[in-house]
Structure 1
Amino acid sequence: MSPRAQPQVIPATLFGSFLEPIGHSTYGGLWADVVENPSLEEGLWSAGNIAAMLRERPELRRASELGLPLPWEPLDQRQGNRYLPVRGDAANSNQSLLVMALPGKTVGIRQRVYLSPQRQNTYNASLWVKHVRGNGNVSVSLRRHNQPDKILASAQVVADKPEWTKYEVRLSLKPNEVARLEPVDLVLALDDDARAQFDSVSLFPADAIDGMDPDEIQMARDLHSPIVRFGGNFTSAYDWHDGVGPTDKRVSVINPSWGIPEYNTFGTDEFLRFCELIHASPQIALNLGTGTPESDAEWVRYVNAHWGDHHGGLLWELGNELWGDFQIAYPGPERIAAVTLATSQAVRAADPRARLIATGGDEDSFHDWNARQLTNAPGTFNYLSTHFVVTDSTQLRGDADFRSMAALALPWGLAPRMHQIQQQAAAAGHKDVRVAFTEWLMISEQRSSPNFTNMGGALFAGGFLNMLMRNAGVLSISDMTGIMEFGGIWKKRGQVYGAPAYYVLREYAQAQPHTLLDVVSDGGTYTISHGITRLPEIADVPYLDCVASEPENASEVLLTCVNRHLTRAMEAEIDLGSLPVKGTAHIRTIHGSSILDENDEENPQRIAPVADQRPASRKLHYTFPNASVTVMHLPLQR
């Protein structure tokens, strides 16, 4: 390996990530409130998601019959119907819940929640109460799940005001009283024939950082992701105004793209704070579906007023996947150029320094769509986006190994398409336009080959990042799906952990490669024919895929290597030529017993980097384990 005649800079923005309210990426994940449906609303889930929830938890069917909104339950269902949803009289959103105690008895509602007792035993609860009759005593407690008599922590408030009033309490568990992954019940209760309306309930760990989970913040900070994209399908129906202002007044609605709740408690200010906490820059996708250029420009002005030096110049994406009829209010190919131009002009008027990413087509179908976008004048946008969220469906009925090798070949096959996108832009007069890979992800439909949750997904991620670095001349931005869930950080049953691909992105980004070096390799290759439907023909894919680079201070040689071979370790002699290597080589390897190995809440570190070191020299013998990703740091003497 050797320096290039024409140095190629690797932008740090190739190691970006992506956040969208989907699954439990924000609510139930990054956002630390453990309560679902805190505002006790109806209509926050699609029919399909409700059906799935009832299959998993059939006890919620009876709770719903008693008038309780999902996923709340009665403290004691044997007491019958002591609950009434009240629409039009709420502290938050549209609905509250009237709870009616029995004479001499306690009546309440509960919700199964997962805490993080391995980290925190103290929790801050809040609720809004409107007193109706009887004594004003309200009990807030944590109890053993499905054991209402086993109270773990409790606090009382006197809520006797006839107008909506907020009350706050602190609940402290005894050490080791709740086991890791053990559910508990959050209970709100009245007694002795009292009646009150409840609304807007929350339960945060005492160590939450501005409402966010500290474990997820730390893992996101460790990722060293320089940009975080806030966008996705939800973008096309998202009104940013709903997510600003006092959190108690933000309205809960359905996220129509995914059929899940959008509580709006994680909005623009919270996203910007998240970016600050993890030392990343925001990259926001604007609403070109139901939004307007004026509203988008207003959002730009709001963010600039609340971010950094207030001078603007941030990345803004002009919509998301607008070519798809699944996208809410998609403009269609006939209108996309005009919609892009109108939004671009409005954003440029609000911030002349803004850098704009127009919606481009995917690599296998970009030409006609991008041609429409490129009818706009040069300077309308700085980048064309492309996405590669792909399943492992193949043209042939190959076995699992064939699907795996075809999936791992995809990044190699993508490289020519990146150049074709840029060449089309240049030919249309947009010579400065570069490609922005704002989503990428590998999905296994049968979970029997590389998937974003398993070690195979980590191999795909390593190959993808290597492809990005090699093609940094046309690629400037990339966002792995996602920083939360998918290939990133997960939280299940109160336990935070990283997918194997998280560690690949972390190792690459932390290494901070800056200048590409030339590499010549004589390892074996393979060819895929009738492979993954999106890119079925890929030739000469190297089993051992290595990229060499230097950090900006040229203090070391960085080798990022992926061994795609599923069963064979690859022995290699690494010849650094005239590069003056001296000292200790530090090596980090991500490897598992199978490409199907996953991390989960029960075993969060099943796949994690393993450190090694050895004397560095200009010729270094190393064996790369089968199906592994390796990052080598070889110090240089300058």
Structure 2
Amino acid sequence: MAMKATMIVDKDFTIGEVDKRLYGSFIEHLGRAVYGGIYEPGHPSADEQGFRTDVLELVKGIDVPIVRYPGGNFVSGYNWEDGVGPVELRPKRLELAWRTVEPNLIGLNEFVDWCRKANSEPMMAVNLGTRGPEEARQLVEYSNHPSGSQWSDLRVSHGYKQPHGIKTWCLGNEMDGPWQIGAKTAAEYGRIAAESAKVMRWVDPSIELVACGSSSLNMPSFPEWERTVLELCYDQVDYLSLHQYYGNRDKDTANFLAQSMGMDSFIHSVIATADYVQAKKRSKKKIHLSFDEWNVWYHSNDADARIEPWSVAPPQLEDVYNHEDALLVGSMLISLLKCADRVKMACLAQLVNVIAPIMTANGGGAWKQTIYFPYMHASLFGRGTALVPLVSSPKYDAKDYTDVPYLDAVAVHNAEAGEVTVFAVNRHLSEALPLEIDLRSFGACRVLEHLVLESDDLKAANTQDAPDRVAPHARGGAEADGGAVQARLGRASWNVIRLKVV
């Protein structure tokens, strides 16, 4: 029997509006994300503040709406005061989370400056590991209060008269993890999160707050952690975080590409837990999700184990991504879009050098990794309303998952632009997949373009010497006839079919 898949997309079968912050990212004081990544004074492309403009252009090419900062594990031992004021007076610190030396050449104010240059907004994390509510509310006052108080006037004295107006704040990071500085039980964390949220919002009632969920779906305390934490801080927070990374350590690509199904299950379990607490509290408020760490991460594990401690900005977590990694990243983006009614923010972790879509050489060039392309396509073309994908596809069984559809797909309707975009991954490793898309509810459509990311070699990667080895092309060949679209999805391919509603 020939391979074939079908997809019905109806404009009235909506999932929800896609919050632009679904396409956020993450910069942590880790490895070369900051030093040698976004910031390198003396680089030929450096601007007057030392920020690499070649990196800025690649970031702007993705249209990243929000960037989480400064961590990550780093934040749980971080004193934010170390990173403000005259640079020559800032201390160098032993950074325990990643066993490096932090020079504090970049801090809050410089990062906000960088975000403005990148056309992005900061998502600030507060330290609830070694610190607590008092330091958190002081940081909000420093950042967001106009003037006339100790901490806001300190910001003014540092040359920033106007408040930063940071809207989104994370209440710590992965506080369930034993690797975390100041790790806590769910009850301990729920209480400190509630009290921190309370005083932070007293300083600035307009802010939004994200509570820490489980560090991954594999944590033994999941989802009991979510239940306990939310029962203690439900009324004080707006979002609950999720973190998840995947790898192909067993060199089983069919199983690797199915792992986004685990991501689907993770999201639905967190939604169910949050809604249970809502029902228990008889609350009218719905908790949304912030999937503020997600990516493929495994290539650099062996190299990271050999790094000498107490150096400045060593090459940590520098995964070199290949074509199959880009396919899974595409499916993970599809998973986020399929839950756009509840997942309102997400951060690909991270943005530059550290498990990142953008790589740099110190003193040299910057280039796009394979995962840059699905991330860019989703951010540029996945704005609007996510639609329920009614998919019929042949399936396969993998080691950890059964009934895995070869077709992984979703559609987004941008009513303002009069466009529908279908994002699709063909998971089949050896065969192309014919696809019929039924768009009859939209009337007639025409194909604007059919972008494809494919490679003869699943392990092919982009490097400084070969930066375009894996890159998308526009020769997909999808055709429209009225409200019907026919396409051929190449084996192991990421596809973006952009349609104009006539």
Same fold (TM over 0.5): yes
CA distance 1:204–1:317, shift in 2 (3 Å) = same
Distance 1:218 1:29 in 2: 13
Q: Cα offset for 1:31?
A: 0.7
Distance 2:261 2:396 in 1: 9
CA distance 1:371–1:206, shift in 2 (3 Å) = closer
User: Which residue is 1:374 aligned to?
Assistant: 230
CA distance 1:6–1:523, shift in 2 (3 Å) = closer
Q: Cα offset for 1:218?
A: 0.4
| Structure that is richer in helix per residue | 2
CA distance 1:626–1:422, shift in 2 (3 Å) = farther
Matches within 5 A, 1:601-616: 601-612=464-475, 616=480
User: Which residue is 2:386 aligned to?
Assistant: 516
Say if 2:368 is the partner of 1:498: yes
The Cα RMSD (Å) is 2.6
Across the two proteins, how many residue pairs are aligned to each other? 455
| Structure that is richer in strand per residue | 1
Matches within 5 A, 1:85-100: none
* Aligned residue type for 2:90: R
User: Which residue is 1:80 aligned to?
Assistant: none
Q: Cα offset for 1:424?
A: 3.2
CA distance 1:206–1:403, shift in 2 (3 Å) = closer
Matched-pair contact (CA < 8 Å) for 2:257–2:327: no
Distance 1:382 1:329 in 2: 23
Matches within 5 A, 1:131-150: none
CA distance 1:18–1:502, shift in 2 (3 Å) = same
1:228 to 47, 67, 79: 67
Unaligned runs of 5+ in 1: 34-202, 532-537
Q: Cα offset for 1:442?
A: 1.9
Matched-pair contact (CA < 8 Å) for 2:14–2:385: no
Q: Cα offset for 1:480?
A: 0.7
User: Which residue is 2:116 aligned to?
Assistant: 276
1:461 to 317, 320, 329: 329
Say if 2:53 is the partner of 1:214: yes
The Cα offsets for residues 283-332 of structure 1, whole Å up to 9 and x where unpaired, read as 11110011232221121122225799848461100000000111112233
Distance 1:457 1:392 in 2: 9
* Aligned residue type for 2:230: L
Distance 1:559 1:263 in 2: 45
Higher relative contact order (CA 8 A, sep 6+): 2
The Cα offsets for residues 213-234 of structure 1, whole Å up to 9 and x where unpaired, read as 1110000111111111112000
* Aligned residue type for 2:64: S
User: Which residue is 1:19 aligned to?
Assistant: 27
2:347 to 479, 484, 500: 479
User: Which residue is 2:316 aligned to?
Assistant: none
The Cα offsets for residues 391-426 of structure 1, whole Å up to 9 and x where unpaired, read as 445xxxx66345434445434444432432333332
User: Which residue is 1:624 aligned to?
Assistant: 489
Q: Cα offset for 1:633?
A: 1.1
2:98 to 251, 258, 261: 258
Say if 2:9 is the partner of 1:10: no
CA distance 1:313–1:204, shift in 2 (3 Å) = closer
Unaligned runs of 5+ in 2: 1-8, 147-154, 302-318
Q: Cα offset for 1:379?
A: 2.1
Matched-pair contact (CA < 8 Å) for 1:585–1:613: no
Q: Cα offset for 1:601?
A: 1.3
Say if 2:338 is the partner of 1:470: yes
Distance 2:384 2:486 in 1: 25
For residue 4 of structure 1, give the secondary structure of its aligned residue in structure 2: coil
Distance 1:311 1:444 in 2: 36
- Greater displacement, 382-391 / 406-415: 406-415
For residue 402 of structure 2, give the secondary structure of its aligned residue in structure 1: strand
For residue 507 of structure 1, give the secondary structure of its aligned residue in structure 2: helix
Matches within 5 A, 1:356-375: 356-361=209-214, 362-365=216-219, 366-375=222-231
Matched-pair contact (CA < 8 Å) for 2:124–2:170: yes
CA distance 1:527–1:209, shift in 2 (3 Å) = farther
* Aligned residue type for 1:500: T
Matched-pair contact (CA < 8 Å) for 1:32–1:205: no
Q: TM-score, normalised by structure 2?
A: 0.84
Distance 2:185 2:234 in 1: 22
User: Which residue is 1:424 aligned to?
Assistant: 276
Distance 2:358 2:273 in 1: 31
CA distance 1:342–1:414, shift in 2 (3 Å) = closer
1:434 to 288, 305, 312: 288
Identity of aligned residues (%): 27
